[in-house]
């Protein structure tokens, strides 16, 4: 059997369904790799080895008995430690969290299990998802760099091939930022497309749940399992779920791909600018029509997210932050204090400004099918960075890394990031693909067209094999 950790989720599933691969051997290969690699990355907070092996045995017997399986049967997956998993505490990266085990899975975790996927552990998160560096996790491309966040453990784990699928959350970019900085694929679907029940809140009106994977095809397959209306989640959208993979081979011929130089492309590091230009030209050669566009109101997004996220987070954490502020990290304490200082008028104004940005989005998508941008204006900062450069300004690392991702949270539109190359230092660059709400299949079509013409998604960081002594 080919090394399972070098396979995509789709390849694992096909092999399991045909009986070529044994789910137990698949799980053991990933657990062995975690044991070898993760002490240096620190991407997992718990590895559920015994449970995973037991689940794998059940799936093996089901295959042998001819029991039909789901689209992810035999595929290991990890979850950010904001998701409830029965029998395990949800620590959310914080000492302020309860150690009482969850009594049931989050619906997303249940959906993955029902599709045949096998939980192998929980990954690190920046404390309560309020940050973009995710200590103590390292970026597998260079261990002195951050993996991004707040889903940094999931990004690092998928990049190092410790899991083919890992769940993240995204309030201002927290799926797409680690996906881009770690060189993997990540999808933030339309707001409400995926249930958030059983997932620790950062901001009720900005939070999204979704997967990080190695390929676009795996992201589409996984989102198909996760998407759907949850009547017990008040933010869940009662919208029909399409076949997200139906357009994967559509290509981009004739599609109008918008490029907004203002805001999205005017503050880029040289390596990011070069990789983005190459990506745009590649899609143009594939038949896309490149159209300059304006996105009215988009410059309001950083301030909107600053206000809305901090106020809603302060509300969610009111009692625990008041009773035991010493249990929070200093950056989260500062953010929650800022939220308490915003007035009700400021919060209402921020929510009203969202309608301006949404109107700008709708007008823009009246002229193009898709909006392209770099996912992040730079590449992964050094560990312990608190400030970094965006254009001509040195600003906080959070606002620097999420500058280009926050518009999709403010508007709720879907946004996919795919690996788009590397800068001169060998650090990954991401390509962000945004579409009108509930058109994720279109984003996947563009992402697949790009991945079919490049090999960035197959690249594996040196640390992922030098630490194990094996070359994938």
Active-site residue numbers? 80, 150, 174
Give dist(CA 21, CA 425) in Å, integer: 38
Environment class of 139 (CB within 10 Å of its CB; exposed 0-12, middle 13-18, buried 19+): buried
Q: Residue 199: phi, psi to the nearest 5? A: -120, 130
Give dist(CA 93, CA 102) in Å, integer: 15
Of 298, 303, 312, 301, give the one whose Cα is nearest residue 344: 312
Handedness of CA 423, 428, 429, 431 (dihedral sign): positive
Query: Which position has the token pair 């784990």?
Result: 157
Degrees (nearest 5) of the Cα angle 439, 444, 445? Answer: 95
Half-sphere exposure of 236 (CA within 13 A, CB side): 19
The SS3 assignment for 162 reads: coil
DSSP code of residue 432: E
Strands (E), 260-392: 289-292, 370-374, 387-390
> How does DSSP assign 252-297, residue by residue?
-TT-EEEE-HHHHSSS--HHHHHHHHHHHHHHHHTT-EEEE---TT
- Rounded to a whole number of angstroms, the CA Rg of the chain reads 21
Give dist(CA 430, CA 276) in Å, integer: 8
Which residues fall within 8 angstroms of residue 61, CB to CB, at 6 or more apart?
A: none
β-bridge pairing 165-169 and 289-292: unpaired
Q: Determine contact, residues 151/181, Cβ cutoff 8 Å.
A: no
Q: How far from the centroid of its chain's Cα atoms is residue 55's Cα? A: 25
Q: How far from the centroid of its chain's Cα atoms is residue 312's Cα? A: 21
Give dist(CA 15, CA 402) in Å, integer: 38
Of 193, 391, 425, 188, give the one whose Cα is nearest residue 299: 391
Of 47, 105, 41, give the one whose Cα is nearest residue 76: 47
């Amino acid at each position: 059997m080919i090394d399972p950790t070098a396979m995509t989720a789709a390849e694992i599933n096909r092999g399991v369904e045909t009986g070529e691969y044994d789910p137990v051997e698949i799980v053991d290969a990933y657990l062995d790799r975690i044991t070898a690699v993760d002490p240096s990355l620190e991407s997992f907070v718990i590895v559920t080895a015994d449970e995973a092996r037991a689940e794998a045995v059940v799936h093996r017997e089901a295959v042998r008995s001819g029991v039909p399986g789901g689209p992810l049967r035999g595929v290991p997956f990890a979850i950010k430690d904001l998701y409830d998993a029965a029998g395990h505490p949800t620590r959310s990266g914080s000492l302020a969290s309860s150690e009482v085990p969850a009594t049931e899975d989050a619906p997303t975790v249940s959906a993955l299990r029902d599709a045949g996927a096998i939980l192998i552990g929980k990954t690190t998160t920046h404390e309560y998802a309020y940050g973009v560096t995710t200590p103590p996790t390292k970026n597998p491309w260079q261990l002195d760099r951050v993996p991004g966040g707040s889903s940094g453990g999931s990004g690092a784990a998928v990049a190092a091939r410790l899991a083919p699928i890992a769940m993240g959350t995204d309030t201002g970019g927290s799926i797409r930022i680690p996906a881009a900085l770690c060189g993997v694929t990540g999808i933030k679907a339309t707001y409400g497309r995926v249930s958030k029940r059983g997932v620790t809140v950062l901001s009720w009106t900005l939070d999204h749940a979704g997967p990080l994977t190695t390929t676009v095809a795996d992201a589409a397959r996984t989102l198909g399992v996760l998407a759907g209306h949850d009547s017990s989640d008040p933010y869940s959208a009662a919208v029909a779920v399409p076949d997200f993979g139906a357009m994967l081979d559509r290509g981009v011929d004739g599609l109008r791909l918008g490029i907004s130089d203002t805001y999205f492309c005017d503050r880029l590091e040289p390596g990011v600018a070069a990789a983005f230009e190459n990506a745009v030209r590649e899609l143009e050669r594939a038949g896309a029509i490149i159209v300059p566009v304006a996105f009215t109101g988009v410059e309001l997004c950083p301030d909107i997210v600053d206000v809305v996220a901090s106020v809603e987070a302060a509300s969610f954490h009111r009692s625990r932050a008041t009773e035991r502020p010493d249990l929070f990290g200093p950056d989260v304490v500062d953010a929650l204090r800022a939220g308490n200082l915003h007035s009700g008028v400021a919060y209402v104004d921020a929510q009203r400004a969202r309608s301006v940005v949404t109107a700008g989005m709708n007008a823009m998508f009246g002229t193009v099918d898709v909006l392209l941008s770099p996912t992040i204006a730079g590449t992964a900062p050094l560990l312990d960075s608190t400030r970094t450069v965006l254009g001509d300004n040195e600003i906080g690392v959070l606002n620097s890394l999420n500058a280009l991702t926050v518009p999709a949270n403010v508007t709720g539109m879907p946004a996919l990031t795919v690996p788009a190359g590397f800068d001169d230092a060998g650090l990954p660059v991401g390509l962000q693909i945004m579409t009108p709400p509930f058109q994720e299949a279109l984003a996947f079509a563009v992402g697949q067209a790009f991945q079919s013409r490049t090999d960035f998604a197959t690249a594996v960081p040196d640390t992922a094999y030098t630490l194990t002594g094996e070359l994938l």
